[in-house]
């Protein structure tokens, strides 16, 4: 039986990865932060390892005896836009994992990044793994740190012959989101907290499809190659309409022009500076929402057998899960 060290095991994607790894017969060493929310791991036959990704000694000990590593641990924080903690975890944590995996001669490392480390395109000509990074314009430490971490993995492949494959999910939806991460968008729409519809859009994917392709990358895919894991490109208006239809709620009443949205973002920045507390928005988040982050996933479908579960099903399953677990008023 092969053993996989899974960082970020108690996250939204991590919970699905744990279940799919166990289903396929892997033993799982689940690396989690001290004091973190572990509800998504309850009842699973895991070897739970508590530690900090920035602690090289701890990471080295966690990897000992493992055959593979899936590095899904990250701090996905975009508010505030600049955060040293985000950089420390996403860059420093990745450096520790890569060094320890190289020392341990791990059979294969799968690094979980984000599609936003590549350039996006239009619906007719979506971005792919060859499009250069465009995220610098946003001033988000999350995006910048994930691009830095991606470059570190590629460098480890080239210089240290690390057998690593890189997967980059788009916007994930689905059940088991105990900490309410990306599915918060559904709750905000259902509870009518959204005042309007942004001008941009993004690519959506079922979280279980991401988990399937990520684990496939342990035995499939080419060393040193990146794979965008996604499904359907939708404008925010199209996505919100689909979500509203599934959840039997109404769309936000107005569309928000990009210039007005940018002004709201700047006002939020001023509010944050005046109060010392982050507002609900910042100008970086607004700039992202004004753009269409559309991607092609052809490469992952062909080489990692990425499933394409309809996005509607992901929304339905997420909404049903929230309802069953008392998240809805």
**Domain spans of the chain?**
3-176+203-232+294-311
Q: Which of 229, 239, 267 is nearest to 114 (CA)?
A: 229
Dihedral angle over CA of 214, 184, 117, 272, nearest 10: -150
CA–CA gap between residue 178 and residue 174 (Å, rounded)? 11
* 3-class secondary structure, 235: strand
Strand-pairing partners, residue 172, are 205
Percent of the chain with pLDDT over 90: 95
From first CA to last CA, the distance across the chain in angstroms is 44
Strand 47-50 with 27-32, pairing: parallel
How large is the angle between the packed helices 141-160 and 93-104, nearest 10 degrees?
20
State percent of the chain over pLDDT 70: 100
Q: Which CATH architecture has domain 3-176+203-232+294-311?
A: 3-Layer(aba) Sandwich (3.40)
For 259, phi then psi, to 5°, come to: -65, -40
Which sign does the torsion angle of CA 84, 87, 93, 99 carry? negative
**CA 304 to chain CA mean position, Å:** 18
Which residues of the chain carry a pLDDT beneath 70? none
Proportion of the chain in helix, strand, coil states, percent, rounded to 5: 45, 15, 40
Query: Could you say which DSSP state residue 92 is in?
Result: I
CA 188 to chain centre: 19
Phi first, then psi, for residue 6 (nearest 5°) are: -115, 110
- Residues 90, 75: contact at Cβ < 8 Å? yes
* Non-local CB neighbours of 292 within 8 Å, separated by 6+ positions: 120, 122, 123, 200, 201, 202, 233, 235
**Tokens coding 221:** 């895919």
Q: Where are the alpha helices (DSSP H) in 128-275?
A: 141-160, 184-190, 207-216, 236-247, 258-275
Q: What is the pLDDT of residue 85?
A: 96
Q: Beta-carbon neighbour count of residue 274 at 10 Å? A: 9
Tokens of residue 63, six digits = 């990897």
Helix (H) or strand (E) holding 4: strand 3-7
Q: How far apart are CA 145 and CA 166, in angstroms?
A: 15
Contact (Cβ atoms closer than 8 angstroms) between residue 43 and residue 235: no
- The token duo for 20 is 């799919």
User: Beta strands of 33-81 (E only): which ranges?
Assistant: 47-50, 68-71
Structural tokens at position 200: 């941009």
Pull the structure tokens for residue 18: 């744990």
């Amino acid at each position: 039986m092969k053993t996989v060290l899974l960082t970020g095991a108690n996250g939204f994607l991590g919970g699905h990865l744990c279940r799919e790894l166990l289903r396929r017969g892997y033993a799982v060493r689940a690396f989690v932060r001290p004091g973190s929310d572990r509800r998504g791991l309850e009842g699973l036959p895991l070897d739970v390892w508590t530690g900090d990704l920035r602690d090289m000694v701890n990471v080295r000990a966690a990897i000992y005896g493992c055959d593979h590593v899936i590095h899904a641990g990250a701090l996905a924080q975009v508010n505030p836009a600049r955060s040293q903690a985000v950089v420390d975890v996403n860059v420093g944590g990745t450096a520790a994992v890569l060094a320890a995996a190289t020392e341990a001669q791990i059979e294969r490392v799968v690094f979980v990044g984000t599609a936003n480390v590549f350039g996006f395109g239009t619906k007719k000509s979506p971005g792919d793994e060859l499009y250069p990074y465009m995220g610098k314009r946003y001033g988000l430490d999350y995006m910048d740190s994930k691009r830095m971490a991606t470059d570190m993995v590629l460098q480890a492949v080239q210089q240290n012959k690390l057998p690593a494959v890189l997967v980059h999910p788009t916007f994930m939806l689905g059940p088991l989101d105990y900490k309410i991460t990306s599915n918060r968008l559904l709750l905000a729409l259902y509870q009518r907290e959204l005042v309007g519809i942004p001008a941009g859009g993004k690519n959506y994917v079922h979280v279980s499809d991401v988990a399937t392709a990520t684990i496939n990358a342990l035995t499939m895919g080419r060393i040193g190659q990146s794979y965008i894991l996604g499904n359907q490109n939708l404008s925010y208006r199209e996505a919100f309409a689909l979500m509203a239809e599934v959840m039997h709620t109404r769309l936000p009443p107005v569309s928000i022009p990009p210039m007005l949205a940018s002004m709201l973002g700047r006002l939020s920045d001023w509010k944050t500076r005046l109060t010392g507390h982050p507002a609900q928005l910042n100008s970086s988040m607004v700039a992202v929402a004004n753009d269409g982050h559309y991607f092609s996933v052809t490469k992952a479908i062909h080489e990692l057998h990425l499933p394409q579960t309809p996005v509607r099903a992901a929304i339905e399953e997420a909404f049903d899960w929230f309802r069953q677990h008392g998240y809805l008023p």
